């Protein structure tokens, strides 16, 4: 039996990185070690004294390792209140020694979800130690190994503040772990036979449990556990703090982004970079360039080469392009870099790569431009403000209501483009193939633009973008003024239906040969008649694309 006057640590970790160093440090400080089987083997192999949990409890490992630490000698030692005489008596009667430190991390459920990676003993130990943090330290993060060793060396024990901090971290850790399991139950595909799929493991499908989200596609409960990934230069404005958070244990898109030059990014830099990146990768496989300003595109184009695409995107609205965010879907070569150097200053350039010498060239000419190298593509088949494809959050958009963080609006993620083959021609004149291509391009750009939005485009370039207006006519007027005739013979896209014929006449006056819009107005007949009167084709998508 272990001596009660000696400090005692219980170590049971799946991730064994750093555990030998921790164990060695504790042994040097005179601590006795208990460890679960796998952890004990690693510690013993390093020549350190350790007692296996099975030997300590006198109970063998059971049920294929499902029962190891679930024993009164373990949990009594962790949970005993050292200031409660009845607790002390219980320990004495049952021959249980107190445990002063619990070091545990859990089965990697988030990486390998499944029944056998649902940890039971680990969370029980962690929560027990965290509950009794007045007397017990609990460590769930290997990054804490060295700090706690340093504190014990200096003070002989962990301070009350340290134990409290570690307990808070432990409860957050187990809460996120349980949330990941609950999310897994929610999102299993129908017919998979997994929990939450609506099909039981038996052959009798009548005994299955209906999906928790019901028929609406919106779950009854959303579970969010976010960790701060990095601090930002500032928030929307310099007097506001800003930071980027990600789902705990799940790399975010910007974790894969490498910055090659320029100052640290701000809150708006990342918002606009994401918006530009999504659109650039939603325009097809041809070289594409997008310029975003204040969350809305002010230029977008595709071409046979990236330099031409960038130049045409810039030419859409050179005034707005100053201080904007440029995103491209191909490596920036020398010709494209030359076009960028000759154009207005950009706050951010985000690309899948930079040719040799391009980073130096851009950095020397534009010292304040942030040069970001990003993963080649987004999972952009759905638009979502939460990119974790393994949970409900991949299929939903969430937005904080009121900015207090305790109330959210939630909707299913929208599609940027329903199948264009399903679009209906409702006018006497049929669009040509070139006009259809212009319509599809304009509709994609329009769907990424804040409502009310109207886009005029021709030959793979947006020439006029009217964004964020309270009425559709004014959005069209802004688009027409910016296009200045350059979209003549091309397409006009509107993210919502035209309620009156005046919008169609404005599109025709701007030179549009085809209009693409959702349809659905009570004045649809008059709107179509106006298109026929002006001899333009009209496509109805059947889906509105408001974006706020």
Active site residues per annotation: 131, 294
Radius of gyration of the chain (CA): 30
d(C-alpha 12, C-alpha 34), whole Å: 9
- 89 CB neighbour count, 10 Å cutoff: 10
Packing angle, helices 502-509 and 524-533, rounded to 10: 30
Residue 295 zone, left/alpha/beta (φ > 0; ψ -120 to 50; rest): left
| Helix boundaries (H) for 353-491 | 358-365, 433-447, 472-483
Q: Which residue do the tokens 């993963």 mark?
A: 375
Q: Tokens standing for 302?
A: 């595709």
Residue 161's contacts (CB-CB under 8 Å, 6 or more residues apart) are: none
Give SS3 for 182.
Answer: helix
Q: Tokens standing for 495?
A: 């993210």
Q: Which residue do the tokens 């596609």 mark?
A: 217
H or E element at residue 55: helix 53-57
Backbone angles phi, psi at 479, to 5 degrees: -60, -45
Cis status of the peptide bond prior to 452, with omega within 30 of 0: yes
Give SS3 for 415.
Answer: coil
Q: How far apart are the first and last CA of the chain?
A: 66
H or E element at residue 32: strand 32-35
d(C-alpha 507, C-alpha 535), whole Å: 12
């Amino acid at each position: 039996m272990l001596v009660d006057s000696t400090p005692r640590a219980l170590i049971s970790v799946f991730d064994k990185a750093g555990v030998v160093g921790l164990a060695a440090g504790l042994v040097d400080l005179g601590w006795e070690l208990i460890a679960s089987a796998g952890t004990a083997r690693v510690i013993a192999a390093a020549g350190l004294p350790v007692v296996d949990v099975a030997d300590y409890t006198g109970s063998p490992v059971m049920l294929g390792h499902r029962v190891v630490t679930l024993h009164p000698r373990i949990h009594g030692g962790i949970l005993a209140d050292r200031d409660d005489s009845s607790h002390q008596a219980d320990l004495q009667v049952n021959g249980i020694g107190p445990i002063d430190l619990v070091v545990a991390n859990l089965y990697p459920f988030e990486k390998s979800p499944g029944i056998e990676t649902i940890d039971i003993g680990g969370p029980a130990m962690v929560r027990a130690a965290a509950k009794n943090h007045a007397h017990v330290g609990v460590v769930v993060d290997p990054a804490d190994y060295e700090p706690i060793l340093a504190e014990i060396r200096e003070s002989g024990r962990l301070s009350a503040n340290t134990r409290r901090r570690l307990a808070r971290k432990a409860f957050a850790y187990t809460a996120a772990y349980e949330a990941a399991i609950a999310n897994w139950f929610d999102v299993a595909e129908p017919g998979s036979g997994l929990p939450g799929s609506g099909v039981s493991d038996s052959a009798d499908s009548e005994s299955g449990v209906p999906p928790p989200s019901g028929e609406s596609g919106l779950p009854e409960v959303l579970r969010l556990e976010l960790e701060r990934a990095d601090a930002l230069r500032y928030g929307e404005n310099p007097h506001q703090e800003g930071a980027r958070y990600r789902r705990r244990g799940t790399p975010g898109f910007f974790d894969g982004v490498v910055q090659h030059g320029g100052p640290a990014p701000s809150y708006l830099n990342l918002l606009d970079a994401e918006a530009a990146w999504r659109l650039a990768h939603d325009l097809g496989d041809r070289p594409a360039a997008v310029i975003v300003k204040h969350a809305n595109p002010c230029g977008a184009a595709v071409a046979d080469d990236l330099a031409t695409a960038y130049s045409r995107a810039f030419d859409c609205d050179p005034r707005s392009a100053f201080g904007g965010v440029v995103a491209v879907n191909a490596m920036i070569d020398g010709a494209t870099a030359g076009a960028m150097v000759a154009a207005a200053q950009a706050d951010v350039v985000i690309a899948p790569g930079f040719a040799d010498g391009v980073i130096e060239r851009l950095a020397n000419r534009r010292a304040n431009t942030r040069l970001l190298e990003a993963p080649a593509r987004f999972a952009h088949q759905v638009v979502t403000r939460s990119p974790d494809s393994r949970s409900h959050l991949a299929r939903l958009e969430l937005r904080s209501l009121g900015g207090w963080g305790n109330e959210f609006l939630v909707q299913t993620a929208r599609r940027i483009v329903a199948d264009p083959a399903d679009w209906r021609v409702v006018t006497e004149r049929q669009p040509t193939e070139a006009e259809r291509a212009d319509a599809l391009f304009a509709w994609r750009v329009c769907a990424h633009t804040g409502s009310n939005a109207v886009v005029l485009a021709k030959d793979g370039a947006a020439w006029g973008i009217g964004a964020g207006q309270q009425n559709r006519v004014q959005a069209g007027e802004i688009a027409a003024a910016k296009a200045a005739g350059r979209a003549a013979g091309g397409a006009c896209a509107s993210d919502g239906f035209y309620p009156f014929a005046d919008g169609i006449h404005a599109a025709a006056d701007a030179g549009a040969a085809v209009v693409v819009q959702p349809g659905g107005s009570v004045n649809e007949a008059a709107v179509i008649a106006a298109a026929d009167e002006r001899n333009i084709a009209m496509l109805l998508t059947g889906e509105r694309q408001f974006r706020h």
